[in-house]
Structure 1
Amino acid sequence: MNDEQLIADLHRRWVFGWDRREGDAPFGFQRVFGEFYDFSSPDVRLYDDFDPEHRVATTAAGYGSIWEPAFREMVSAHHAIDDGPHVVAGGDLATSTLRFVARIVTPAGATDIRTTTSLVWRRTPDGWRIVREHNSTAVLPVGELDGRFDDA
C-alpha cells in the first residue's frame, strides 16, 4: 500500500471513530484516536467550527477535552462519507480532505450536518499522525439525511 492509500484509509477510519451507538462505552478521546493524532508534537493545531467556542487546540489531549463532554452526552452519532478522501503525500508530510455527513442525536433531539475536513499528517516512528485539522460544518435542514443511516 502506498502512502496515499494508507492516508486515505486512515482518514476513512478516523471519520468512523466518531460514530457512537446507544450503549457504547463512555467516549474516551485518547482511547479512540490514539493511533491517529500526534499526542507529543508541539506543532499540533486542531480546529472544528462545530465547537460552539471555536477553540484551537494546540495538543491532541486538549482537543480531546473539547469533544469528550459532548460525545459522552450523545445518544448516538452516525457518519457517512460523501466525497473523498483526496490525498497528497510527499516525504514526511501528507494532507487529506474529505466530506462527510452525520446525524448527531442528543437527549434534546437530532442534528444533521455536512462537514468538510482537512487533515495534515506527519510521518513519525509510530506511523502517520495528525498534526493539523480543520473542519467546516454546515447544519442541514431537519430530516435532510432521513434514510441515509440504517439505524439512525
Structure 2
Amino acid sequence: MDEDKFNVNFGLKEIKQIIPHRYPFLLVDKVTYMEPGKKVVAYKNVSGNEYFFSGHFPEEPVMPGVLIIEALAQAGAVAILSQREFKNKIAFFGGIKKARFRRKVIPGDTLKLVVEIIKIKGPAGVGKAEAYVGDKKAAEAELIFMVEDKN
C-alpha cells in the first residue's frame, strides 16, 4: 500500500469541516496523516495562553490529562468522520479504557496525537490512542466511540 497517499496537510479550516469542535474546545491544530476509518496523526501546539493553564496550575502549568484524552478523541474523530458512511455525523465517547499518563505536557510542547482504529462494528468502535511529546509517550488510552446523526 502506498503510504504517501495518506499524507495530508489539514489545518484548522479542514479540521472544522470534519469535526464540530470550536474554540476554546478545539484541541487539534493540524493533521499530517490520515487513512479514513483507520489511522490519523495530528498535532496540538500547547501554548502558554491556553485557558486551562490559569487554574491548572498557575505556578506550574500542566495540561490536564482529560484534555489530552479529548485531543486524542478529536483526532480519532477526524479519521472516523472522514469515512464515506460517517460524513456529516458526530462522534461521541462511549468509554475510555486503559488510560495512562506518562509525562507532563506543558506550555511550549507540541503534542503528537496518533490514533489507530482497531475495531468498528456498525456505529461503534474502538481506537488505540497515543500522545507524544517529541519521542516520549505522554499518554495512552483505548477510546470507545459511537457515531450518530447530527440533530
Could you tell me the TM-score, scaled by structure 2's length?
0.32
Could you tell me the TM-score, scaled by structure 1's length?
0.32
